[in-house]
Amino acid sequence: MVTCDEFLALVSSERIMPIIRSDDRDKAVMIGRTLIEVGHRVFEVSLTTADALGVIAELNEVGSARVGAGTVLTAGDAEAARAAGAAFIVTPAVTPSIAAAVDLGLPVLAGALTPTEILSARDAGAAAVKLFPAELGGPAYLAALRAPFPDIPLIPVGGVTLAAGREYLEHGAIAVGVGSPLTGPSSQPLDAAALARRAEDFRRMARGV
């Protein structure tokens, strides 16, 4: 577990937060292992993943990466994520799990889209706001939000490709969350070598912004 300040510092340094989501437990673990080998130090395992809590627990034993739980909707989800060793939680919206996670001492990346939702997420105790689904407004929408909310850390998630990720970072995102454009299609077998190449491409892009 990390503090909110430590979480923000890590994410701001990494600038890329991979999102693991799979209906195959072994594939999810292999994705996580590959990301750790390439050098990613923070990523999310969605609770929609097969045996997500087990995946989180196993990946915590692999290396020093901070593994968070995503799609955390309820207080029970937050408690289970903490018990599995999740370092932080991610929500898709402003949910009851935010307050529960804050009470448990877990940093929260809370999902929001509109200005009202962004403020609600911050007031609920979120360390940062996951702008989701980001592709609805794109980098221009993120840029428009920076003016009224300069002090709220925003992390776009949803449809973040390599090119879009660069634009989001250039427009003020502290980081971007990346799913299938990095981890690959969930319906296809894992190609670890291709995943490693994509992961390094995203890391190189982030370093260049």
By annotation, the residues acting in catalysis are: 44, 130
Closest to 88 in 3D by CA, of 206, 175, 24, 189 = 175
Residues 6+ apart with CB under 8 A from 34: 192, 195, 196, 199
C-beta of residue 89 within 8 angstroms of C-beta of residue 81: yes
**Cα distances (angstroms) measured from residue 141 to each of 67, 85, 130, 156, 209:** 29, 35, 13, 10, 19
In which residue are the tokens 């702008």 written? Answer: 131
